[in-house]
Amino acid sequence: MPIVWRTVHLPNYVFFVFIALGALALLIPAILQFEGSAGPNDSSIPIVEVGQDNETEAKVENVDQALFILKEELDLGMTQDEVLAYFGAGYKEVLSGMEDDNQWRYDIGTIEGYSYEEEYDFADMDGMLNGLVQMHIWLTWDEQWTLKNYSALFVNQLDGRIYEYRKFEDGGEKENPIN
């Protein structure tokens, strides 16, 4: 007996319902993976309560983690203790070249033995271009020692260019390539 195929005509919306269900089936694992996530590589983003006395310092070791913290976690007006909870005590004290404000500089993604001694907020551009350091972060403090503004230079791993990220005193932000 021959097989007879019959064509079933469904309303157009049924087609879109099946497409939406298929897309949802693909997205659910991704949603569950990031549920409660603090961001990229969140397992290595330190979760430290402010004022907590920890034997190990909270430390950020790559550009993605640092950018996430700069863009999503830090707020102007934070205290030094609050910032230390994210970045740890591995900073160098420098002065801003424009206003002689007190700053902390963090060097992120450095090779072993990297050292950059600079009194002011100047970047080690040669070190960044040659892979010795992936990012510099400068945190500027006001007279009450709260976070006034901050900026960073970092190597974008996708295109190899150096980018600047900046959070201004008025809360405005900008990110753009500089080379």
pLDDT per residue as tens digits for the range 20-52: 555 555 555 544 444 444 444 444 434 334 334
Q: Judge whether 7 lies within some domain.
A: no
If one counts the domains in the chain, the total is: 1
Q: Judge whether 37 lies within some domain.
A: no
pLDDT at 35: 43
Q: Judge whether 145 lies within some domain.
A: yes
pLDDT band at 175 (very low <50, low <70, confident <90, very high): very high
77 touches 146 (CB < 8 A): yes
CA distance 166 to 148: 12
pLDDT at 34: 40
pLDDT digits (tens, 9 = 90+) for 84-93: 999 999 999 9
Q: Judge whether 48 lies within some domain.
A: yes
pLDDT digits (tens, 9 = 90+) for 52-69: 433 334 478 799 999 999
How much is the average pLDDT of 111-136?
94
The pLDDT of residue 133 is above 60: yes
Which pTM was predicted? 0.67
Measuring CA to CA, how many Å separate 65 from each of 42, 60, 135?
8, 6, 11
Domain of residue 165, residue span: 44-177
How much is the average pLDDT of 105-128?
94
Q: Judge whether 2 lies within some domain.
A: no
pLDDT at 154: 96
pLDDT at 99: 85
pLDDT band at 97 (very low <50, low <70, confident <90, very high): confident
Q: What's the distance, CA 171 to chain centroid? A: 17
Q: Judge whether 146 lies within some domain.
A: yes
Q: Judge whether 167 lies within some domain.
A: yes
DSSP code of residue 76: T
Q: Judge whether 122 lies within some domain.
A: yes
3-state secondary structure of 93: strand
119 touches 102 (CB < 8 A): no
